[in-house]
Structure 1
Amino acid sequence: MEKATLGRTGLRVTKLGFGAMEIRGPRVWKGRPVEDSEAERILHAVLDAGINFIDTSYDYGRSEELIGRFISGRRNEFFLATKCGCTLVDCGDHDETPHVWTRDNLLHNIDTSLKRMKTDYVDVLQLHGPTVEQAEEGRLTDVLKEIQATGKVRWIGISSYLPHLPSYIRSRDFDTFQIPYSALEREHEQWITEACGTGAGIIVRGGVGQGEPGIGRGSAERWAVWEAAKLDELLEEGEQRTGFLLRFTLTHPHMTTTIVGTKNPDHLTENIRHAEKGPLPADVYEEAKRRLDALALR
Structure 2
Amino acid sequence: MRKRTLGRTGLQVTQLGYGSMGLRGPRTWGVRVVSDAEADRFLNEVLDSGINFIDTAPDYGVAEERIGRALSKRRDEFYLATKCGCDPVQHDDQLEIRHTWTAEVIKNNLEQSLRNLQTDHIDLMQFHGGDAHTLVEAGLVDLLRDFQQQGRIRFFGVSTSLPELPALIELDVFDTFQIPYSCLNRAHHDLITQAAATGAGIIIRGGIAHGGPDAEIQRDKLNAIWNTAGLDELLTEGMNRAELILRYTISHPHCDTTIVGTCNPAHLAENQQAVEKGPLPESLYNEITSRVKQTGQ
The alpha-carbon distance between structure 1 residues 138 and 31, as it changes in their structure 2 partners (threshold 3 A), is farther
Give the partner amino acid of 1:162. Answer: L
Q: 2:96 corresponds to which residue?
A: 96
1:250 aligns with 2:233: no
* Partner Cα separation in structure 2 for residue 73 and residue 33 of structure 1: 25
The alpha-carbon distance between structure 1 residues 23 and 210, as it changes in their structure 2 partners (threshold 3 A), is farther
Q: 1:236 corresponds to which residue?
A: 236
Q: 1:206 corresponds to which residue?
A: 206
Q: Say which SS state the counterpart of residue 295 (structure 2) adopts.
A: helix
Q: 1:265 corresponds to which residue?
A: 265
Give the partner amino acid of 2:197. Answer: G
The C-alpha deviation readout for 1:126-163, integer Å capped at 9, x for no partner, is 00011334324422211111211211100010001111
Q: 1:44 corresponds to which residue?
A: 44
Q: 2:171 corresponds to which residue?
A: 171
Q: 1:292 corresponds to which residue?
A: 292
1:12 aligns with 2:12: yes
Give the partner amino acid of 2:4. Answer: A
What is the aligned-residue RMSD (CA, Å)? 1.4
The alpha-carbon distance between structure 1 residues 14 and 226, as it changes in their structure 2 partners (threshold 3 A), is same
| Kept in 2: contact 1:250–1:279 (CA 8 A) | yes
Describe how 1:144-155 pairs up with structure 2 within 5 A: 144-155=144-155
- Offset at 1:97? 1.9
Q: 1:86 corresponds to which residue?
A: 86
| Kept in 2: contact 1:210–1:216 (CA 8 A) | no
* Partner Cα separation in structure 1 for residue 23 and residue 17 of structure 2: 15
* Partner Cα separation in structure 1 for residue 199 and residue 12 of structure 2: 14
Q: 1:221 corresponds to which residue?
A: 221
The alpha-carbon distance between structure 1 residues 258 and 218, as it changes in their structure 2 partners (threshold 3 A), is farther
Higher mean C-alpha deviation, range 67-76 or range 31-40: 31-40
Give the partner amino acid of 2:86. Answer: C
Give the partner amino acid of 1:67. Answer: I
Give the partner amino acid of 2:200. Answer: A
Q: 1:106 corresponds to which residue?
A: 106
- Offset at 1:214? 6.9
The alpha-carbon distance between structure 1 residues 267 and 211, as it changes in their structure 2 partners (threshold 3 A), is farther
1:61 aligns with 2:82: no
* Partner Cα separation in structure 1 for residue 31 and residue 4 of structure 2: 31
* Partner Cα separation in structure 2 for residue 94 and residue 82 of structure 1: 21
- Offset at 1:25? 1.3
- Offset at 1:215? 5.3
Describe how 1:191-202 pairs up with structure 2 within 5 A: 191-202=191-202
* Partner Cα separation in structure 2 for residue 269 and residue 289 of structure 1: 27
Give the partner amino acid of 2:184. Answer: L
Overall identity of the aligned pairs, in %: 51
* Partner Cα separation in structure 1 for residue 28 and residue 194 of structure 2: 33
TM-score normalised according to structure 2 size? 0.96
| Kept in 2: contact 1:209–1:242 (CA 8 A) | no
Q: 1:32 corresponds to which residue?
A: 32
TM-score normalised according to structure 1 size? 0.96
- Offset at 1:179? 0.1
The C-alpha deviation readout for 1:91-142, integer Å capped at 9, x for no partner, is 2222212111100110110110010000011110000011334324422211
The C-alpha deviation readout for 1:215-268, integer Å capped at 9, x for no partner, is 501312112111111111211112111110000001000110000001111111
* Partner Cα separation in structure 2 for residue 265 and residue 147 of structure 1: 36
Give the partner amino acid of 1:97. Answer: I
Q: Say which SS state the counterpart of residue 296 (structure 1) adopts.
A: coil
* Partner Cα separation in structure 2 for residue 69 and residue 82 of structure 1: 16
Question: Where does the alignment leave 5 or more consecutive residues of structure 1 unmatched?
Answer: none
* Partner Cα separation in structure 2 for residue 136 and residue 176 of structure 1: 17
| Kept in 2: contact 1:157–1:177 (CA 8 A) | yes
* Partner Cα separation in structure 2 for residue 211 and residue 251 of structure 1: 15
- Offset at 1:27? 2.2
